Amino acid sequence: MKKIGKFLTGSIALISALSTISFQTVAAQEPIEITFPSYKTGQNVGAPLFLGQIERFNAQHEGQYKINVEEIPQDAYGEQMKQLALQNDLPPIVHAAGSGSVDIQWFNDVVVENNLYYDLSGWLGEHPEFTDIMIDEVEEFVTTEDGAVHSVPDYRVRPPFLYYNSTMYSPETPIREMTLDEFKESLGDNKIAFMTGENAWTTGIFWSAIIANEEGGAELLSSYSNGELTDLTDPIFVSSIETLKTFIIEHGTDNTLGAIYADAANAFMSKNAAFIANGPWMTGDFAEGSEDKWDNDFNGADVKGDYFPGNIGIASYEIYGDWISASASEEEVELALAWFEFLLSPEEIEINILAEGGQTPNYEPTEEFNAALAEQTILFEIQEATSDEIVYVPNILDLLPASVSGNDLARFLPQLITEDLTAEEFAQELTNAAQAAQ
């Protein structure tokens, strides 16, 4: 609040001064306020953590900052951000490229190329405590050739896992130590919760593991960066597509055709499927308090998790983070940076990892965190299973152009399953779509 000069005398002057003081006091007490459009609401798997973070941030900064959340469907989020960018009216904070249908290619070609982001390099330079915990490869990835940083570097990687219901499937050998053929033989009549709708997320993860199990497949996947894969006619891809088709036909659930994420999750949590490939964030659905998502005597305590057959992990250091739009005002930037600092506090980091998992090579957790993690059976067991033998490959959904993984894959997968397309034809259709997207 600006200082008021010498106390004024005279009734009119006194009233005027008091009015000014009153006005300035009220103005000073008004918090900086923004609206944060987000798809992490409602039934979205990320909603519990995100909305809890918003609530804690607002409480911690009451009277100073306030974030209001605008609910947007996940499928519509990316397109809405594109439209707002055209109008130079992006919100102060935008979710990471590659998440919530935000097109990675659009982000690079439009946002980065046209400097529509707020450069975070200065902020990071002032906070070595943050850069110390961030993954060097990720920090390098989000840094441009000019040294600008377009999005918040991550401090963790979150490889998806293969979850299974131990009351339906109890292998003598850990899944990660099996070959793909041994895993298939061990399935019996058990089903896998595949998707052919939306971005075919659970199917894409499993397909990535199949490719990595092909001779030369891991190297082939690792030779591409995000959005660069435009030719799937390589024999390795074609062979993996044939294998994927066999898995879906023989072990897909009855609702696989057209299944969106909610269908796949429901199939697993109602014991209609014994397996689902998904990220560590799904572990929250298996915890106490999530019983409203369970059916048919499903119990989250029965869920186990492992890496994929052949010691395959799905992970990449090409990780985008949330970012600040260049059109944000000084006050909005101040709030956004305070939000990022809040998320990078030890307390929030540990809440985040316990809720959604992940590996943090540069962050040293507290003893309280380690004790709490030991109670999170799935995450603890997977952490114990992590070793130098795990071969990490990128998710093919990240390597394909966003329009292909987000739309075309779901268009052609049903035709593969109904055998209206051969593996070669399916690969060619995706190739055509990927090249048209360039």
Q: Is residue 5 located within the same domain as residue 110?
A: no
Q: Is residue 191 located within the same domain as residue 257?
A: yes
pLDDT, tens digit, 9 for 90 and up, residues 234-253 = 999 999 999 999 999 999 99
Would you say residue 380 lies in a domain? Answer: no
Would you say residue 385 lies in a domain? Answer: no
Structural domain tally of the chain? 3
The proportion of the chain whose per-residue pLDDT surpasses 90, expressed as a percent, equals 75
- Provide the residue range defining the domain that includes 140: 31-153+324-374
Q: Is residue 345 located within the same domain as residue 408?
A: no
Would you say residue 69 lies in a domain? Answer: yes
Taking the model in full, what pTM does it have?
0.78
403: left (phi over 0), alpha (psi -120 to 50) or beta: alpha
Q: Is residue 224 located within the same domain as residue 174?
A: yes
pLDDT, tens digit, 9 for 90 and up, residues 34-83 = 999 999 999 888 899 999 999 999 999 999 999 999 999 988 999 999 99
Q: Is residue 219 located within the same domain as residue 312?
A: yes
Q: How far apart are the first and last CA of the chain?
A: 53
Q: Is residue 177 located within the same domain as residue 285?
A: yes
Q: Is residue 355 located within the same domain as residue 420?
A: no
Would you say residue 205 lies in a domain? Answer: yes
Binning pLDDT at 50, 70 and 90, where does residue 26 land?
Answer: very low
List of E strands, 178-302: 275-278
- 29 CA to centre of own chain: 36
pLDDT, tens digit, 9 for 90 and up, residues 196-218 = 998 899 999 999 999 999 999 99
Would you say residue 82 lies in a domain? Answer: yes
Q: Please answer whether residues 393 and 314 qualify as being in contact, where contact means their C-beta atoms are separated by less than 8 angstroms.
A: yes
Q: Is residue 272 located within the same domain as residue 406?
A: yes
Q: Is residue 342 located within the same domain as residue 420?
A: no
Q: How many helices (H) and strands (E) does the chain have?
A: 20, 9
Would you say residue 201 lies in a domain? Answer: yes
- 346 CA to centre of own chain: 20
Would you say residue 389 lies in a domain? Answer: no
Would you say residue 357 lies in a domain? Answer: yes
Render 111-152 in DSSP notation, one character per residue: IITTT-B---HHHHHT-HHHHTTS-HHHHHHTB-TTS-B-SP
User: What's the CATH number where 185 sits?
Assistant: 3.40.190.10
